[in-house]
């Protein structure tokens, strides 16, 4: 792609127009020589269920069964047999729905464009090793000559718990170890894990998952890069960059990490040259500091306390958000959630599936809706129940919590961010929304939530 530019340059010089050639054209030539045509590599992201749909269509077309209904072991066995073979899997006669064509067309575009245009292929809602092997097979079938590195994104609480076992299984496969060549990237999701189990339980499970994933990678001699899928707000894993990095588990960064920077915070972090420099400076400083002065590891008794509190927090959160029959109606009346789907302000639909309740709602409108009412329910719900349970069980636990706050960066940052959200919150505004928008028979439910808010706030201040 340099040839036509060089031809223009020589032509201008030969015609006596060197002053023009040595202006913006020469600048452009140098930029292309230095950066190529793609300055930033683009990651591809697709949900694991979409790949399952494609492979299910293929296996049904080949009349060998339904891929979706196979067990995890059957899926892995079939995928590996195809990956180790050389025959093509499907032809142009494969029946395709619009969704299946969309997935395959993405792979075909990746195959056509220069390989330096792309970075990672991220599998959102990844749950098992077959999700990764499926993408490897689809890349091969769509003739991606230089396959993208495949990055599983573990988001829900159960998937984060199962992530170390999934990675261990992948590394135990000879074909896969040869494919990754000693380097693996794993993404962990802060937004959907928080929506699934509440901020407290999600934060603790993310911490433990990183520790276990690093242990698995070390056992197999693989360099693991953690990719943090953080949001801009506290409810979606956001927070000050420096503190967020320094509160990660020891031995999990090793001088490199990846993080997402959400659209709503790009301007404040990278909008001007001095802001951009300061942000990158903070990333570099925190990454170096984490390596040279690792944070303390939690004591066994701290871990036991966190595990017990996480169980209580998850139970409290899910009992209200997913099991309380009045919650969905209250949520849709008290917040502007239904309006977000009609607003042309996001890069993705507000729901993963048009039907469904809270489960199908994306984390962004979920947090946005509660922020609008200044109630911030997804951030604090579960904290109060966890603290109350542990203090009532043994008052000495309060002193242990205070010790954890003073000595353990992860716990301190988690509590500080929730306290900051309480400083911004205003249940009085939420009550006004209730009176204007919510039917009278649900007022008592709103009052119950606001009482929970005040109780959690007072417990945190202890």
**pLDDT tens digits, one per residue of 331-348:** 999 998 888 777 777 666
256: confidence class by pLDDT, cuts 50, 70, 90: confident
**Mean of the per-residue pLDDT values of the chain:** 92
What pLDDT score does 361 carry?
A: 82
What pLDDT score does 452 carry?
A: 95
In the numeric block, the tokens 């505004």 are attached to: 429
Encoded tokens for 66:
């339904």
What pLDDT score does 338 carry?
A: 81
What pLDDT score does 350 carry?
A: 66
Q: At what angle do helices 199-219 and 157-171 cross, to 10 degrees?
A: 10
What pLDDT score does 255 carry?
A: 83
- Report the candidate in 221, 147, 156, 213 with the shortest Cα–Cα distance to residue 185: 213
Q: Determine whether 183 is an active site residue.
A: no
* Rounded Cα–Cα distance for residues 146 and 212 (Å): 30
More confident residue, 226 or 239: 226
What pLDDT score does 65 carry?
A: 95
What pLDDT score does 354 carry?
A: 63
Q: For residue range 371-396, what is the model confidence (pLDDT) as tens digits? A: 999 999 999 999 999 999 999 999 99
Contact 50, 138 (CB under 8 A): no
What pLDDT score does 192 carry?
A: 87
Kindly report the pTM of this predicted structure.
Answer: 0.89
Q: For residue range 401-451, what is the model confidence (pLDDT) as tens digits? A: 999 999 999 999 999 999 999 999 999 999 999 999 999 999 999 999 999
Number of H-type helices and E-type strands within the chain: 24, 6
In the numeric block, the tokens 């009052």 are attached to: 447
What pLDDT score does 173 carry?
A: 97
Q: Which residues pair with 184 in a beta bridge?
A: 224
| Catalytic residue chosen out of the listed positions 75, 96, 156, 195 | 195
Q: For residue range 359-373, what is the model confidence (pLDDT) as tens digits? A: 778 888 888 889 999
355: confidence class by pLDDT, cuts 50, 70, 90: low
Q: For residue range 25-71, what is the model confidence (pLDDT) as tens digits? A: 999 999 888 888 887 899 999 999 999 999 999 999 999 999 999 99
What pLDDT score does 399 carry?
A: 95
Going by the DSSP 8-state scheme, the letter that residue 351 receives in this structure is: B
Contact 438, 333 (CB under 8 A): yes
């Amino acid at each position: 792609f340099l040839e036509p530019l060089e031809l223009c340059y020589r032509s201008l010089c030969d015609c006596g127009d060197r002053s023009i050639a040595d202006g913006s054209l020469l600048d452009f030539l140098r930029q292309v020589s230095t950066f190529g045509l793609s300055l930033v590599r683009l990651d591809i992201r697709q949900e694991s269920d979409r790949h399952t749909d494609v492979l299910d269509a293929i296996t049904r077309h080949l009349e060998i069964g339904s891929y979706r209904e196979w067990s995890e072991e059957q899926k892995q066995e079939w995928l590996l047999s195809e990956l180790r073979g050389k025959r093509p899997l499907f032809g142009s006669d494969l029946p395709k729905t619009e969704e299946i064509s969309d997935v395959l067309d993405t792979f075909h575009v990746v195959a056509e464009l220069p390989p330096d245009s792309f970075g990672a292929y991220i599998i959102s809602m990844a749950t098992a090793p077959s999700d990764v092997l499926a993408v490897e097979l689809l890349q091969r079938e769509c003739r991606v000559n230089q396959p993208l590195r495949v990055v599983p994104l573990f988001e829900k609480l159960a998937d984060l718990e199962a992530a170390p076992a999934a990675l261990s299984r992948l590394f135990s496969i000879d074909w896969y170890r040869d494919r990754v060549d000693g380097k693996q990237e794993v993404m962990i999701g802060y937004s959907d894990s928080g929506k699934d189990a509440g901020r407290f339980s999600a934060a603790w499970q993310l911490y433990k998952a990183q520790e276990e994933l690093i242990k698995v990678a070390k056992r197999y001699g693989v360099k693991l890069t953690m990719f943090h899928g953080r949001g801009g707000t506290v409810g979606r894993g956001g927070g000050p960059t420096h503190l967020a990095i320094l509160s990660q588990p020891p031995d999990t960064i090793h001088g490199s990490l990846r993080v997402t920077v959400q659209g709503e915070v790009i301007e404040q972090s990278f909008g001007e040259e001095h802001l951009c420099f300061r942000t990158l400076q903070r990333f570099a400083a925190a990454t170096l500091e984490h390596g040279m002065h690792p944070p303390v590891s939690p004591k066994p008794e701290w871990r036991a306390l966190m595990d017990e509190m996480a169980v209580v927090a998850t139970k409290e959160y899910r009992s209200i958000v997913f099991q309380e029959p009045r919650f969905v109606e209250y949520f849709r009346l008290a917040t502007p959630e239904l309006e977000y789907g009609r607003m042309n302000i996001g890069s993705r639909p507000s729901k993963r599936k048009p039907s469904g309740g809270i489960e199908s709602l994306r984390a962004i409108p979920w947090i946005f809706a509660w922020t609008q009412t200044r109630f911030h329910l997804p951030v604090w719900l579960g904290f109060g129940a966890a603290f109350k349970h542990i203090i009532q069980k043994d008052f000495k636990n309060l002193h242990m919590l205070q010790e954890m706050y003073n000595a353990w960066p992860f716990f301190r940052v988690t509590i500080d961010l929730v306290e900051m959200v309480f400083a911004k919150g205003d249940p009085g505004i939420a009550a006004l929304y209730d009176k204007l928008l919510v039917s009278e028979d649900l007022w008592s439910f709103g009052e119950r939530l606001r009482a929970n808010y005040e109780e959690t706030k007072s417990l945190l201040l202890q």
